[in-house]
Amino acid sequence: MTSEMWQDKITAWYAEHRGIARDEAEMNYLKIAQDLDMYGMNYFPISQAKNDADILLGVNAKGIHIYSRENKISPLKSFKWDEIKNISYNEKKLKITPIDKKHDAFKFYSSEHKVNKLILHLCIGNHDLFLTKRKVDSIEIQQMKNQAKEEKARKKMEHQRLAMEKQLREEAEREKEELERRLFQLEDEARQANEALLRSNEAAELMAEKAQIAEEEAKLLARNAVEARQEMQHLERAVMKSKEEMRQMEQKMRDADRVTVKLINETERRAKEVEVLEQELQKARENKQRKQSLLDLGTAVLPVISKRSLLETSEGFSDSKLLRQDPPEADFKRLSLEIEKERLDYIQKSMQLEKQLTELKLEIQTLKKEDRTPSVLSLWNGTFSPQNKPNRNGSNWMLADEQVFRGSGNTSPLYPVSTVRSCPDPDRRYYSTPSQPVHTMMFSNSLGRRTERSARQVGPYELDVIYI
């Protein structure tokens, strides 16, 4: 066992012997200690030969014992006091003579002379005690022993009485402490109960307030639910209306695209007609220039003719010229009027289409502004499927019409017309008559006297620009 374990064990034993008197505790200790093998033993180093110390000599109340240095509990040899006849020493030599003559005397040597003397005195004292124990006690000693026993019994009774009183007092103190602790505990419990009661009252009041608030919140939530339901119905109606408006708007856009394509086709057709009319007008102007050239040529080559004949001939020629010129002049005026009429009709239709497209653009912008609210937008996203949403890249039917138009063998370009911007197209694609090539025209003199060939170059002539 370690020192800490011994300390704990001794402390526990000391607590068990609480209340025992000092002399009684010492006597109990001696009673326990005298049963031990090494109780009252004094060890001295000795040797059986000089200058050698290999064994130990032990002296106690029971006798003399010889031990080895390694084992101090089990003796190698023992001499009890009733077996020893004599003990003597001579300087360092010590001799023990037994009573039994059959055994030889035991001789040994000590390290010093003083050690032998001390061994002898210890042996004498222990032997005297041994003899004293064997003697019968005298009357005085017996009386003293009896008195000692009575005193011991009285002290024991007194000690028991004091221990009982002490135990009772300790029990009373413990009961008092327990009662005080119980009282404090009851007071604490009462205080806690009062606090719990106050807290419960406060909690009840708070719960009542919360219940009232919850009731008010429930009513408010009910009203909000009704309002939300009404708002939802209103939004559903608005969404349905928006869907209907979107369908109408898509229909209008399709109609507008259809009208635009028709107008483009009509414009191309009119452009072709204008081109044909311009060609006819150019031919009429060329005929007029030819006739004017012939008149100038006739005036230059006939100076020798008489005035009358010339006048008659000139009058006849002028009449025939006027007769021949009237149709080209009439055709020119007619073509000019038709071109102007076509131009005015085109401008009027363009203005009408521009007005319609502007109104359509405003309606689309208004619809977009209405669709910007989150509620309508969420309902829109949840209601309309992808196939119902308008195509931002244009209508598919318009692309189909364009493919049909291009596949019909028409070589005229399909000019784009915006359905959102105003008409005409901002790119302002121009239609112009290509310049006529310079060519040489041959004239023949129809006066009958002589034929003269002359060449005259006709310069290019360009019409006014017409744009869409």
Question: Tens of pLDDT along the chain (468 residues)?
Answer: 788 998 998 888 888 877 777 888 888 888 888 888 788 888 888 887 766 667 888 888 888 888 888 888 888 888 888 888 888 888 778 888 888 888 788 888 887 888 888 888 888 888 888 888 877 777 888 888 889 889 888 988 988 888 889 889 989 999 999 999 999 999 999 999 999 999 999 999 999 999 999 999 999 999 999 998 999 898 898 888 888 888 888 888 888 888 888 888 888 888 888 788 788 878 877 888 887 887 777 676 555 444 444 444 444 444 444 434 444 567 667 777 878 887 788 788 878 877 877 887 787 778 777 665 544 444 444 444 444 444 444 444 344 444 433 444 444 444 444 443 434 444 444 434 344 343 333 333 333 444 343 333 334 333 343 333
In a domain, 40, yes or no: yes
Is 380:239 a contact under the CB 8 Å cutoff?
A: yes
Residue 374 counted as domain residue: yes
CATH number at residue 102: 2.30.29.30
pLDDT number for residue 51: 60
Looking at residue 41, its amino acid is: M
Domain boundary pick from 107, 135, 163: 135
Calpha distance 322→334 (Å, rounded): 17
On whether residue 409 sits in a domain, the answer given is yes
Q: Is residue 251 part of a domain?
A: no
Compute the distance between CA of residue 89 and CA of residue 4 in angstroms, rounded to an integer. Answer: 46
* pLDDT reported for residue 305: 46
Choosing from 135, 161, 188, the residue where a domain stops is: 135
HEC states along 64-119?
EEEEECCCCCCCCEEEEHHHEEEEEEECCEEEEEECCCCCCCEEEEECCHHHHHHH
The confidence score (pLDDT) of residue 197 equals 93
Give how far Cα 359 sits from Cα of 43, 76, 255, 419, 420, Å.
136, 138, 14, 11, 9
293 SS3 class? helix
In a domain? residue 257: no
Distance CA 127, CA 133 (A): 10
Range of 128's domain? 36-135
Please check whether residue 311 lies inside any domain of the structure: yes
Residues 274, 130 share a domain: no
CA 332 to chain centre: 85
pLDDT at 411: 41
Helices 139-301, 307-370: inter-axial angle, 10-degree rounding:
170
For residues 61 and 125, the answer to whether their CB atoms sit within 8 Å is: no
So what's the pLDDT on residue 201?
A: 93
Q: What are phi and psi of 47, to 5 degrees?
A: -150, 155
Per the DSSP assignment, residues forming a β-bridge with 47 are 109
Q: 298 near 445, Cβ under 8 Å?
A: yes
In sequence order, the β-bridge partners of residue 454 are 443
Tell me what pLDDT residue 302 has. Answer: 53
Residues 292 and 432 in one domain: yes
Examine the fold and report which residue of 100, 135, 170 is the final residue of a domain before the chain moves on.
Answer: 135
Looking at the domain assignment, is residue 43 inside a domain?
A: yes
CB-based burial, 386-417: b 16+ in 10 Å, e otherwise: eeeeeeeeebeebeebeeebeeeeeeeeeeeb
C-alpha closest to that of 253 among 364, 378, 87, 388: 364
Q: How many domains does the chain have?
A: 2
Please indicate, yes or no, if residue 413 is contained in any of the structural domains: yes
- pLDDT reported for residue 329: 62
On whether both 270 and 124 belong to a single domain, the answer is: no
Q: Which residues contact 108 (CB under 8 A, 6 or more apart)?
A: 46, 47, 48, 55, 57, 93, 94
